[in-house]
Structure 1
Amino acid sequence: MSVTDVQETITRVHHEEWARVVASLTKRFGDLDIAEEAAAEAFATAVERWPADGVPPNPGAWLTTTANRKAIDRIRRESKRDDKHKEAQMVYDDPPEPLGVIDDERLRLIFTCCHPALAMETRVALTLRMVGGLTVPEIARAFFVQETAMGQRITRAKAKIKAARIPYRVPSAEDLPARVSGVLAVLFLVFNEGYLATGPDTDPVRHELTAEAIRLTRLIRALLPDDGEVAGLLALMLLTEARRTARVSASGELVSLDEQDRGAWDVELIAEGHGLVRERLATGVAPGRYQILAAINAVHTSARDVRDTDWSQIVALYDQLVRIDPSPIVALNRAIAVAELDGPELALTTIDRLGDHLAGYHAFHATRAELLRRMHRSPESRAAYDQAIELAGNTAEVAHLTRRRDQLG
């Protein structure tokens, strides 16, 4: 196996095993910081040794054993932690914890970490870091905050868990409804990072993240079949994933929705997503955020050609969404639909009012650039493209924005 192959294997194993290793050490040693640091040291050791020694037959077991030893070594160095030292010496005798109502290990970890004692944003951020496999910069971009601020938020969450002695306990069936909203938020953000990666050092579309988010959401659907938002999130993911193969060109450039080959969309995923949307509509229950987003995507995927898109229905759905989630991002997306229905001038007026909130968001500047382009205000459009390119991290998106800017002449 070449060095490149080994490095790719380590990257894959990191995504697959990080959450399990950290959770195993957290349960055994009762300390999130020790767990994360020991896991990081184990992966660093793998980077050093596997290229020379070869990848072990069971990489996950190797990492767990190495991380346990790293944790024990650290605990032994800290004399004030004698009680944890004793626990560490008994690590291999630790009895397995009952699985509870959730059979899947990763989903069980997500529900366990989404503890209602933490504020929603905090529990989501912490779970994304510990279980979701996302880095602090990726999480910070998902929340539109500075990386240092997000790092501090996660650190404070760990400190609160310690200070309040919040138990690291697998939730029972009765616990699930109180935790499911946080779990859905985690899976939505993991899916989004896979759908359009925010960093320049990864593939522009990370199928392993979108596939895992869909798999776990299907499991939640089986656990909570009557939860409308679970069904809505699954439908949203399926209808978005259906377009994946058409979203990046052979040259590595992002393909916008209006330019995609709709014949390349996955008709089975679309049919399943549409079925879930219809099922929720038939209940007559007021839809939540994910259900409305799924309905918007259902309208898009129902149109055989972009010219057949029912923009009035999409604007009406965004009007519903604004009442539930009056965030600048929702207002931006609604304005994009308004531009198709009523023209770019009205949409631009709305978008310009969002500048104070979204100045650091590349999609805000990309949207302005497109609207200014349609209004034949080329110098302003070029400046907006420049800002969008500077802020965008996704390589495929940068290529698309660069081409659009350079076409201005």
Structure 2
Amino acid sequence: MRAEISGVVPGSIGEELGVKKGDLLRTINGIAPADLLDYRYLSADEFIELEIEKPHQERVIFEIEKDEDEDLGIIFDQDTFDGIKRCKNKCIFCFVDQMPPDLRNTLYLKDDDYRLSLLYGNFITLTNISTREISRIKDMHISPLYISVHSTNPALRQKMLGHSQAGQIVSYLRDLAQAGIEMHTQIVLCPGVNDGEDLYETVHQLSAFWPHVQSVAVVPVGVTKFQKNPLIRPFTGPEAQHVVETVSQWQNNFQKHLKTNFVYLADEFYLLAQREIPPYDHYEGFPQIENGVGLVRSFWTSFRQASALLPKSLDQTRKITFVTGRSAQPVLGPIVKRLNQIDQLEVDLISLTNHFFGPSVTVAGLLTGHDLMVGLRDWRRQYKQDDCPEIFVSSVLLKFGEDLFLDNMTVDQVEKALKIMIHAVDPVGESLIHEVMHQGGKNQI
């Protein structure tokens, strides 16, 4: 168990004590913390004893008096000091199992760790959890948790997850609800597998745990060209329309009885069904926006609010091109139309086919450097365009904090090969407007 320190906050207690990057936190009040949750809990007291191991195995003990809940300002290289709990499921729809070989190792990591669920909103299945861990969740009131349900039918969930314990999900949810744990749940919907009557039963069985189960997100299964399970296929447009209509009826009923929509659809369903994205209030605080639920409406709203900053004209002519996935074209369409009202600004929009994962993958976030290379070259040939030097892509295409696409190509490699400049922009209206209006050179990625 290694609580390795990666830095300290300037001006913090940790800095005053001389704690450095590379030191190890051994104990707090004689207890070795297993993770960031332990660290926060143990260090919350006014009086604590901190044991730090310096390089060369020198150990130093600090006796600290501080304000209650005052943070020590210590930053760790990992949030789980005893390692990440790995997923042992064999889900028939697992996206990680649909990845091609030879990508970076972190893309193949499948975690099922309740601690990361609390800290980052990662979804867990509760099939890889021990009785001791369930007790810890209840004792420490680790809440909210994000839980992948998929089906409350024991036999079907066991088949979908490929795990002998998967059928116990309802008893786990009941136990956590009785302990006052707040939960947000998701259903990865697979046509012909857990839709139709099973979806109805799952959603309405989950609603029995309201308000402890706060929300249900229904997300369409992602299917790449590497998928080998014959049971798994993407949704068609008419099937997506049926899902939208059906869930809309349920939302109306839940509003009458629970005063909440309770169940929400991922934006992909509305886009595939060619239906209007619901209004801002529909999402009731956006509890599952990181799951692609309401992201489009949030983006449009933030852009509209920030558009008051847009000028009537630029000081000099500028031409930029937005590049995105097929499903995101109608998302960026209204944005492009508004930006083209600015004099001396010309904005194009290109939606690319995903060659790397296959054409059934249409979301922008899974475009790779290879897709940009192939797609932009094809676009240039088809439309006889000699140049499109400034390219805007969503920052979700890149590894967080780095200029690396999913296929390990770097931004610099793509720029040099295509002779373009790539701006990676956060999908927030203010960020987009700032970058469009900034004409001083390459965006800092």
TM-score (norm 2): 0.27
Kindly name which structure, 1 or 2, has the bigger radius of gyration based on alpha carbons: 2
Greater RCO (Cα-Cα under 8 Å, separation 6 or more): 1
TM-score (norm 1): 0.29
- Structure 1 or 2: larger helix share? 1
